[in-house]
Amino acid sequence: MLFTDRAIKLFNHSGSAETKSREDMDERFKWNLKDIYVDDVTWEKDYNWVLKNLPMYKSFDGKLSSDDDLLVKCLQFDDQIGMKLERLNLYAMLSKDSDMRASKYQGMNDRIKSLLSKALASSSFIRPELLLIPEKRINSFLKKNKDLKIYRHFFDNLLREKKHTLSKEVEEILAMTGEITSAPYGIYSMFTNADMKFPSVKDALGNEFEVSHARFYAAMYNKDRNLREQVFKNYYKPFGDYLNTLTSLFNSNLKSNIFSARARNYNSARNASLDKNNIPESVYDNLVLTVNQNLAPLHRWAAIKKRVLNVDELHPYDVYVTLFSTEKEDKYTYQKAKHLILDALKPLGKNYLNNVKKAFDNRWIDVYETPAKKSGAYSSGTTYGVHPYVLLNWTDLLNDVFTLAHEMGHNMHSYYTGHNQPYPYANYSIFLAEVASTFNESLLLDYLIQHASSNGEKLTLLEKYLNNITSTFFRQVMFAEFEMLVYKRTEAGEALTQNELNELYKEIYQKYWGAEMVIDKEEEYTWARIPHFYYNFYVYQYATGFSASEVLAKSIKEEGKTAVKRYLKFLQAGSSDYSLKILNYAGVDMNSAEPVLATVQKMEKLLDEVESLL
């Protein structure tokens, strides 16, 4: 019931870099999972408690309209089950992601998925039964019973989704399909993180090293163009070798989401995905359309890159390379990064800084890459009663500093939400998820630019800002447009082969980067390596979140404490209201093109400043 609204988020985490063994890694740089469960035995106890208590749902079946006290007991029991499941999942997920070869934790992760499916099936009667209760009677229950008042927004949202909630029997069947519909992502994640093997390449000194997810990202910033090209082509090689398998997984995921949407009477998978957070499709369409009409800054940035690199052709492996030399050291230790971030976040006040320090000092963060650890970076989100965790794969690059700032934005959003909302609202929608993260990055960039000691250093930081806009805004809209089109074609009955997916991705990539870009064949199947395409219309929210964060950061610079107070209320709001309203209260209107245009205009100003310094 309430926990089922959040269940989809339990397994949706994305999957950067040194390879010391996990046993040899200093404990300070590994997350402390004892804050969740003291040991695996304690996890098993909670697992068995949930399994044992699931039959209690039957005592409420068919009786929810009869008595307000019984209704409260059902909702509270459902919350209790949800809290246990989320805690169980967090421990299993983080244990698995620490070493994806560990069969014990793969097994625990599989078991919790099965338990979730059983819980969803056991509780599946609640939503359709509630919808049979006349709205007038629900309102009388809410007025009469003080323990029910906490669920008022839940009931508002429930009634809004009434036409997409099916009969008790059908809801139970759909709940049982959870393991099946989540299988494509589970297989994809295991295959690309644990089983896929990458070739080895040699650096400029002749040292051979095996390509990995982390080393790929690090190499894309390296000034050695030959190394970039080697790593780029060798990183993509296994994706090309297994393109048939990856195409099958990709299409299976599309069809799973289309099936779920159609079963619930939505007109499309996108409609179903956005409706969960009450986001009109016009927000998505407005984002894609407005960006398509304003690609000139990205084309201009491509032209500058080509000129500064002094190359005849600009290739995808040239997109993120550091263009400008700087007197500042190129390496950023984790310790140094923490100090920089704390200084940059000072405008948010002492309480906020103390909470960030708490995360740094108490092993909420898993810092360095170890063998078979999940690649990339993420924040675990809100798990009621437990602090959030952060996964990193540190490589001593400036980019890692921003990744840490980004994930700590998520971390603090989850922390503030968990401490200020009751369980039913102690989470935030995916639509809001990327606001706090990119907001932190914006403050960090402004701080570093202000403290730049030379024009060279300032150019480096301006370049970073421009790359942020490129990757978090334009690139994500590009992904969003690709995702929108592949779903439209599939929903129209078209079978998408690997060649058609490659051609579509290439066409969109060329449009976004313009005539300066020469697209290597490897880039054409980038769609096959993006885990976010398995999250069902997730990526557009990076761009909307980035746009919103730019508006919020600007307001804090201009208004000071008043804007900070609004921002902290945003962090505390959780899901206590609809996402667009929560952003509106913070001072951002995502129904308009204004935040999108503001980001485009910001990029133009940054480009002007870069060209003035060249």
CA angle, 310 then 463 then 510, to 5°: 65
CA angle, 92 then 78 then 96, to 5°: 5
The DSSP bridge partners found for residue 365 are 390
- Phi, psi (rounded to 5 degrees) for 61: -60, 125
Distances (CA, A) of 586 to 37, 281, 581: 36, 22, 9
At residue 23, what is the residue type? E
Catalytic residue flag (residue 179): no
DSSP one-letter string for 362-430:
TT-EE-S--TTPPPS-EE---BTTB---EE----SSHHHHHHHHHHHHHHHHHHHHHHHS-GGGSS--H
Assigned token pair, 529: 């390596």
Cβ-based neighbours of 242, under 8 Å, separated by 6 or more: 191, 196
Helices (H) and strands (E) counted in the chain, each on its own, are: 28, 5
Name the active-site residue from 369, 407, 434, 481. Answer: 407
Angstrom distance (rounded) from CA 119 to CA 116: 5
For the chain, the 3-state helix, strand and coil shares in percent, each to the nearest 5, are 70, 5, 30
DSSP one-letter string for 532-546:
GGGSSS-THHHHHHH
Q: At what angle do helices 243-263 and 183-190 cross, to 10 degrees?
A: 160
Taking Cα atoms as reference points, which of 254, 281, 425 lies closest to residue 246?
254
Cβ-based neighbours of 65, under 8 Å, separated by 6 or more: 71, 129, 132, 133, 137
Q: Which residues are catalytic?
A: 407
